[in-house]
Structure 1
Amino acid sequence: MNSADGTGGGGGGVHMDGRAAPLPRADIDGMKRRLHNHLRHSLGRGPVGSGAMDWYLALALCTRDLMVESWMDSSHRAYRSDAKRVYYLSMEFLIGRSLVANLLASGSLELARQTLTDMGLDFQAICDCEPEAALGNGGLGRLAACLMESMATLGIPARGYGIYYDYGMFSQYIEDGQQVELPERWLRNGNVWAFERQDRTVPVRFFGYTRAGVDAHGHESHQWIGNDEVLAQANDLLVAGHGCWTVNAIRLWSARASREFDLRRFNQGDYINAVAEQSFSESLSNVLYPDDSTSVGKALRLKQEYFFVAASLHDIVRRFRRNHTDFTKFPEKVAIQLNDTHPALAVPELMRLFVDEHGLDWQDAWALCTGTFAYTNHTLLPEALETWPVGLLGDMLPRHLEIIYEINHRFLERVRRRSTVPDDARVARLSMIQEGGERRVRMAHLAFVGSHRVNGVAALHTQLMRAGIFADLHHEFPERIVNKTNGITPRRWLHEANRPLAGLIGRHVGDGWVANLEDLRGLLPLAEDAGFQTDFRAVKRLNKEALSAYIKQSVGVEVDPDSLFDVQVKRIHEYKRQLLNVLHVVTLYNRIRDGDAGADDQPPRTVILAGKAAPAYYMAKLIVRLIHDVARVINADPVVAGRLRLVFVPNYNVSVAERIIPAADLSEQISTAGTEASGTGNMKLALNGALTIGTRDGANIEIGDEVGEDNIFFFGLEAAQAEALRHNGGHDPWRYYTGDPELHRVLDMIGRGAFCHDDPDRYRPIVDSLTRHGDHYLLMADYADYIATQERVGTAWRDQDTWTRKAILNVARMGRFSSDVTVMDYAQDIWKVSARLEEGETVG
């Protein structure tokens, strides 16, 4: 489906700035006609007076036209062949902007750029009109987006399911150094990429009661009588694979009231209450992750989870029954992947549909259910495993609680039968119901028992799942846990985000890497080539200049593009240890001010952080404020001018990531070992030529295996050491505080107000958490090795030829971390589906 511009691949004809050679006049004139046609007939506008947003919409509609044809073909092909389909259930799809990605997928990027330029329009300004799709928050949603794109690229018939949020998590605004959350209403101007399906609505029930009875065959039956109903309306968002051979869709549900408003009340003048039901119903799809620190917020979150699960399973069953009169082949034709525990209610909901609505025997229904579901776990933190109060779940979903109890009863009976010695403590650990205090439903246990495969997302993560959080379940189902290391799509994270580097790679190894990232190994011999090293550095310099300009515009801080760009971009959380990064910055600041001889050997460094803290997460928000206070002092100090800068880039999202990642020299992946499931930012940064400084955590280990220990900077405790230190009583943070003069000084500066003279005790909680309250994430234990490793980083940076060689080797060896590889692993081991790479070519 590539157009005549010939730029659908890696960019062999792309110049250093990411642009291609001039295209034929006929192609450009044809594109102009299509643009003017949509401007006039779709938007009701003429060229005179049309602004950048009008031209964006016209260009997006032209691009969508190409995708729709492939979407129809893909769907018809799957139905004709009765192919097995993958359904990916996720509360988040962090897709970012779509225009450039879809132009690249259809091979039309340069045609669009040159056409608009020929018309005297600013192509980049038009692309920047697109709002960021606020359908996700972090790695969970970005992984979902990457996997959906790879499924389309590999020709796998698939559909994502989620919620069509009116507002994202929030827009992050910094005021006096503090994070302020503003509404992120990304749909204020509609969404040209989505098709609103008013004819596809599903009634979703809540509350009410259940009624037991006997059916016509004498079997026990149950009927759920719900007394609250919301309509789920479908919206289809297209996802194009590379080359647009296959286009799939993400079906996102928006909430609609089952009754518009109370006409009687309206006529009586009670206008507010007349529309109250409608407003309350539609609030279900208003906000991504409502604040669940209150009982109302918890109830809304649970309602959201069931809302999208119920609508999605109704849709999945409807689609299956188009070709099948009974359910015997359901697992052969349907694979449902649960992306974390948010969709775990799908397990009792599918059982309810099978048993209550379609009259299947429980045992048969359970076999179909477990044969259909697979569950991806994304956390090793016990406190992050989702649980719901029994009272809340039973009140809102009474039939589902009954089904969960029945699943649990049958499961625990199986456990007892298999046990040679009674072990009530083990049974309690395995139970889906957490006893003691407030009784709660363990959603991870429910998802685990209800699935035929449970996967971790990095080798270490999967190993720790088996030995830690799921050890008892693993003993019951020893073949169930498998590893599927996360991946990233090279189309978004190199081909689109870093066009200059894509062009350089394409000129040397061709375009095949866009669809097969292992082709980057063709760069291995060039790592020693002086000319290629020079070109590689020129590309990095170009990207750093662009980021420097963006930082100046958005933050007002001048940074030196010749300095070492030291980057940590991720959600703000104590376990991700942005605070450890700040401790290093203050240490380096002190050394420079003191005239330390070692500091003179260190290169100029620009430390760049970005990420959002959850609104109710006090300590994370305090860390954000500390970063800004430290930056204010350091950036204003003439003694360190030209030697050290600290910058926090606000409102981190996919578009901001696409600016920062190509410019990074050093990638900070410094979470406490054993806490990060995988990470995908580590992959994106390495793919774009940043060297990693990190702990042996998550996928860092596998990246190290691929790029070589000489081309990555590991430091700190390993997972087993961290676990032993934390739980065997061997960690004494006070000993580190009193025994390391530099650490002592840094913490005293922070704790006594050196960076906040107006409020000297502002950061006392941070210092106390490290010195007096256990240092749970072991910053004190890892500090000295982290500082020493940063010295090695600085020394390595001084030798630019060697540094560049290491960076090229990182790029060349990242093929394993393509999401295409991840999806093929899922397809073969979990979903049992075939991939079609080109017309007629399949991989089983």
Structure 2
Amino acid sequence: MAGGKKTMNKAGPAAAHSSHEDVEELKTAIRSHLIYTVGKEAVSATARDWFLAAAHAVRDRVTQGWMPTLNGYYREDSKRVYYLSMEFLIGRTLVNSLINLGLYDAVREALAELGQDFEEVAAWEVEAALGNGGLGRLAACLLDSMATIGVAGFGYGIRYDYGMFTQHIEHGWQVESPENWLRYGNPWEFPRPGVIFPVRFGGRVIHFRDSRGFNCSQWVDAEEVMAMAYDVPVPGFGGKKVNNLRLWSAKSTREFDLKYFNAGNYIEAVRDKNESETLSKVLYPSDMTERGKELRFKQEYFFVAASIQDILSRFRKSHSDWEKLPDKVAIQLNDTHPAMVVAELMRVLVDEHELAWDRAWEITRGCCAYTNHTLLPEALETWSVDLFSRVLPRHLEIVYQLNHEFLQGVRYRHPGDTELLNRVSLIAEGADRRVRMAHLAVIGSHKVNGVAAIHTGLMKSTIFSDFEHLSPGKIINLTNGVTPRRWMLASNPRLSALITQSIGDGWYTDLDQLRKLEAFVDDPAFCAAFVEIKNANKRDVAVMIAQRLGIEVDPTSLFDVQVKRIHEYKRQLLNLLHVVVRYARIRANPLLESQPRTVIIGGKAAPGYHLAKLIIKLVNDISEVVNNDPLVGRRLRLVFLPNYNVSTAELVMPAADLSEQISTAGTEASGTGNMKMAMNGALTIGTWDGANVEICEEVGEENMFLFGLTAQEVARHRVDGYDACAAVRADKELSAALDMIGTGFFSPDEPDRYRALIDTLTVGGDHYLLTADFAQYVAAQERADRTFADPETWTRKAILNVARMGKFSSDRTVAEYARQIWQAL
């Protein structure tokens, strides 16, 4: 089965009332698709067959709103917003579409009358493997909100044949296997063989004067790959607007070479086809090799080039004046992956449509805007000049010219400041000269935004401080949000039903209305219902853990959840050190009374990230010891959830009591898991980082467990130096925990297994300052224990967290983008 069965309340997730006519129409449609689309009769159909039939029946309903929406955009000559992203982590589509169309109950009843269990049928949907983490989940939320609030929004990405990977755990280690999500087809997509564009690589550039005497450039002798479109409709809540996600798939210009085929050399016959189509084969091919780097570089340009051709083709259907392009087209670059848009749009306007350079540059900057998602210098993409010149020679010329003109302007304003010129240049000089894609995105955009207030402030004062000085006001903040339709209505139907019963359904599209729940914080009946819902969600997760992992957890224990990509800066290791301290305390005093706790960790490590994979192994080694120690009993459990994805998140987040958001201050741009868990009634234990700061401003510091260094204090430690070894020596529990890990207590088969990990915290200087924050973290955990032991106080704080999370709807985020960047509302 595609995923675990998710229990939902019988009424469905706050669905619209279904009429007898709706149910009968849907039954007829599902039966029809079972026969004519799936090719099965009811007597022989499997649950997967019924899912495909139901999905096509629902897709028909989505399409009924899709065509009028797109036609309306043409008729009204709407400004179109194009959101370019390497990731769209949309998760499963069936339940989300049913909620947005108001058909949840109707489809549930139709399937029941056809003799099928809705949960079993829905669980056969394979999650779309179009993303990896927060970047893709944010993109999916923004698409949902654009359709909901009426922005003419279009997503552009890549239709990956395989996702990043499916994560398996073997002997405690992460093992990757291909994520073949398209094995059984994708019922939600519409192939568009008529929408196909050439994308070129390599070749050379020739320069000449045209008949007017103008200098011209032409990119010639390049190899071509075709980009074919696949469209996925994205319905907004209420179904009134249905926008489009267009994904590009690479197709060879030649199916096979008949000469080689007839000679019996079948591998050589299809070599060109196979090499061309690798461009859309897998999300984020490994860049550990030069071939991998080149493939990823080509992949980014592939989807940019196809998207720009499509955008301009659509614009030219209604407009001939290029000056109108910024008035009718907004292009949002989701991180640096699509930054090539700047050079590509310039190339097309100048080389193909013969616009003057300065005019093309003004148009390009008027169309483009860039969202930054990281403060880590190593995460800001750069590409070697050698690779650039070999793969995209004309684009490198354009980058050089843009850089020359930009630096000329800087030089005029700051004569003699060569250090400033070096810092802001698009080219990082050195033995390995590199193109700085973030710098290209910054100068090529009319607006640059961060995704949380602290993140944007740090962008202005650190990585982009020079650009802020050169263009004050260009960098703005637009705090992330998440869609309450998926992350409350779909994922937490029990809580959604209670909220709707209490305050009405206006909160579906106006999350600020959750404030009305504050009136119920002292209502015994509401509080009792709230607690029972949380407990029911926890029981569901306990069943899932038992089924998948064979580990029994106590649903009445505190569910302590950290689910996100595994990375040193996200500090899963800090969480584990606290687990080891709790375990050591129980071992030292078996009669110690302690709050029962279930620690749940989930996330993938990049295949080439050794330390992150070592952290996963450590989670599983500690889990093996702790969960099987009879001294511990039910007081402590540690669980690693393999292959964490959207579907798992939808199950786990509503069950979380404590939300772990413990990154080193100044490293997490925003986070969205912190928002999802808080709006589902979890209390946050976290640092002063990312959106934690703004969540604190909304819900109140007294309703969170905040700890640790501030971003400014972290920066001072980095400048002044930090003695991690002294910090370890000063804290006996920390020292003991590190010794247990480092000397093989949890890895007796290989005592030195974690020596490298421990060294990063001691002799390595502890770059992410776990040891500096450890004592405050443990103290915050003890405050959480004491609060959880007082159910009335905990429940009150949890309800207030839900009630005060209205700011963090992606509807608000999109409205701010539309007004402050896109001018599209």
Q: Sort the Cα spacing of 1:272 and 1:417 in 2 relative to 1 into closer, same or farther, 3 A.
A: same
Distance in 2, matches of 1:19 and 1:366, equals 49
Which stretch has the larger CA shift, 621-630 or 64-73? 64-73
2:440 is aligned with 1:449: no
Q: Sort the Cα spacing of 1:76 and 1:19 in 2 relative to 1 into closer, same or farther, 3 A.
A: closer
2:494 is aligned with 1:510: no
Q: Cα offset for 1:14?
A: 7.2
- The question of whether the paired residues in 1 share the 8 Å contact of 2:15 and 2:104 is answered with no
Partner secondary structure for residue 329 of structure 1 = helix
Q: Sort the Cα spacing of 1:284 and 1:19 in 2 relative to 1 into closer, same or farther, 3 A.
A: same
Distance in 2, matches of 1:25 and 1:256, equals 46
Task: Please list, as runs of the form range in 1=range in 2, the aligned pairs for 1:389-538 lying within 5 A after superposition.
Answer: 389-419=384-414, 421-538=415-532
Task: Please list, as runs of the form range in 1=range in 2, the aligned pairs for 1:249-398 lying within 5 A after superposition.
Answer: 249-398=244-393
Partner secondary structure for residue 542 of structure 1 = helix
Q: Cα offset for 1:20?
A: 7.2
- The question of whether the paired residues in 2 share the 8 Å contact of 1:15 and 1:503 is answered with no
Which stretch has the larger CA shift, 294-303 or 266-275? 266-275
Deviations 1:157-185 (A, max 9, x none): 11110000000000000000000001100
- Which of 763, 780, 785 is equivalent to 1:772? 763
Partner secondary structure for residue 131 of structure 1 = coil
Instruction: State the partner residue of 1:810.
Output: 801
Instruction: State the partner residue of 1:668.
Output: 660
- Which of 81, 89, 97 is equivalent to 1:86? 81
- Which of 669, 694, 708 is equivalent to 2:686? 694
Q: Which amino acid aligns with 2:709?
A: L
Instruction: State the partner residue of 2:68.
Output: 73
Q: Which amino acid aligns with 1:692?
A: T
Unaligned runs of 5+ in 1: 1-12, 835-844
- The question of whether the paired residues in 2 share the 8 Å contact of 1:167 and 1:184 is answered with yes
Distance in 2, matches of 1:210 and 1:638, equals 72
Q: Cα offset for 1:311?
A: 0.3
- The question of whether the paired residues in 2 share the 8 Å contact of 1:85 and 1:157 is answered with yes
Distance in 1, matches of 2:177 and 2:653, equals 25
Q: Which amino acid aligns with 1:796?
A: T
Q: Which amino acid aligns with 1:265?
A: Y
Instruction: State the partner residue of 1:741.
Output: 732
- Which of 531, 539, 552 is equivalent to 1:558? 552
- The question of whether the paired residues in 2 share the 8 Å contact of 1:14 and 1:20 is answered with no
2:114 is aligned with 1:123: no
Partner secondary structure for residue 48 of structure 1 = helix
Q: Which amino acid aligns with 2:361?
A: W
Distance in 2, matches of 1:396 and 1:534, equals 63
2:185 is aligned with 1:185: no
- Which of 126, 129, 132 is equivalent to 2:127? 132
- Which of 733, 754, 760 is equivalent to 1:763? 754
Q: Cα offset for 1:736?
A: 1.1
Instruction: State the partner residue of 1:150.
Output: 145
Instruction: State the partner residue of 2:742.
Output: 751
| TM-score, normalised by the number of residues in structure 2 | 0.98
Q: Which amino acid aligns with 1:450?
A: G
- The question of whether the paired residues in 1 share the 8 Å contact of 2:14 and 2:496 is answered with no
Q: Cα offset for 1:19?
A: 7.8
Q: Cα offset for 1:30?
A: 2.5
Instruction: State the partner residue of 1:198.
Output: 193
Q: Cα offset for 1:216?
A: 2.0
Instruction: State the partner residue of 1:627.
Output: 619
Q: Which amino acid aligns with 1:215?
A: D
- Which of 784, 787, 812 is equivalent to 1:793? 784
Q: Cα offset for 1:42?
A: 2.0
Unaligned runs of 5+ in 2: 1-7
Partner secondary structure for residue 487 of structure 1 = coil
Instruction: State the partner residue of 2:673.
Output: 681
Distance in 2, matches of 1:688 and 1:472, equals 40
Q: Cα offset for 1:412?
A: 0.1
Q: Cα offset for 1:45?
A: 1.8
- Which of 183, 190, 206 is equivalent to 1:211? 206
Partner secondary structure for residue 244 of structure 1 = coil
- The question of whether the paired residues in 2 share the 8 Å contact of 1:94 and 1:145 is answered with yes
Q: Cα offset for 1:592?
A: 1.3
Q: Cα offset for 1:15?
A: 6.3
Distance in 2, matches of 1:26 and 1:336, equals 43
Q: Cα offset for 1:439?
A: 0.1
Q: Which amino acid aligns with 1:64?
A: R
- Which of 708, 712, 715 is equivalent to 1:720? 712
Distance in 1, matches of 2:371 and 2:667, equals 16
Q: Sort the Cα spacing of 1:430 and 1:538 in 2 relative to 1 into closer, same or farther, 3 A.
A: same
- The question of whether the paired residues in 1 share the 8 Å contact of 2:200 and 2:224 is answered with yes
Q: Which amino acid aligns with 1:129?
A: W
Q: Which amino acid aligns with 2:452?
A: A
Partner secondary structure for residue 322 of structure 2 = coil
- The question of whether the paired residues in 2 share the 8 Å contact of 1:456 and 1:482 is answered with yes
Partner secondary structure for residue 416 of structure 1 = helix
Identical counterparts, % of pairs: 56
- Which of 641, 650, 659 is equivalent to 1:649? 641
Distance in 2, matches of 1:536 and 1:191, equals 37
Instruction: State the partner residue of 1:841.
Output: none
| TM-score, normalised by the number of residues in structure 1 | 0.96
- The question of whether the paired residues in 1 share the 8 Å contact of 2:11 and 2:105 is answered with no
Q: Which amino acid aligns with 2:408?
A: E
- The question of whether the paired residues in 2 share the 8 Å contact of 1:350 and 1:369 is answered with yes
Which stretch has the larger CA shift, 44-53 or 675-684? 44-53
Q: Cα offset for 1:16?
A: 8.0
Q: Cα offset for 1:596?
A: 7.9
Distance in 1, matches of 2:61 and 2:751, equals 60
Q: Cα offset for 1:18?
A: 5.2
Distance in 1, matches of 2:67 and 2:283, equals 30
Q: Which amino acid aligns with 1:612?
A: K
Distance in 2, matches of 1:373 and 1:352, equals 15
Aligned CA RMSD, in angstroms, stands at 1.3
2:41 is aligned with 1:50: no
Which stretch has the larger CA shift, 118-127 or 658-667? 118-127
Which stretch has the larger CA shift, 214-223 or 110-119? 110-119
Instruction: State the partner residue of 2:103.
Output: 108
Task: Please list, as runs of the form range in 1=range in 2, the aligned pairs for 1:151-166 lying within 5 A after superposition.
Answer: 151-166=146-161
Task: Please list, as runs of the form range in 1=range in 2, the aligned pairs for 1:164-183 lying within 5 A after superposition.
Answer: 164-183=159-178
Q: Sort the Cα spacing of 1:79 and 1:144 in 2 relative to 1 into closer, same or farther, 3 A.
A: same
Q: Cα offset for 1:607?
A: 0.3
Distance in 2, matches of 1:797 and 1:116, equals 41
Distance in 2, matches of 1:219 and 1:479, equals 36
Instruction: State the partner residue of 1:8.
Output: none
- Which of 608, 612, 624 is equivalent to 1:616? 608
Distance in 2, matches of 1:361 and 1:17, equals 58
Partner secondary structure for residue 163 of structure 2 = coil
Q: Sort the Cα spacing of 1:15 and 1:69 in 2 relative to 1 into closer, same or farther, 3 A.
A: closer
Deviations 1:582-613 (A, max 9, x none): 0000000011111288x52x310000000000
Q: Cα offset for 1:728?
A: 1.1
- The question of whether the paired residues in 2 share the 8 Å contact of 1:707 and 1:809 is answered with yes
Partner secondary structure for residue 179 of structure 2 = coil
Q: Cα offset for 1:46?
A: 1.4
Deviations 1:511-560 (A, max 9, x none): 11111111111101111111111000000011000000000011110000
Q: Which amino acid aligns with 2:516?
A: G
Instruction: State the partner residue of 1:591.
Output: 585
- The question of whether the paired residues in 1 share the 8 Å contact of 2:19 and 2:106 is answered with no
Distance in 2, matches of 1:624 and 1:17, equals 36
Distance in 1, matches of 2:194 and 2:16, equals 46
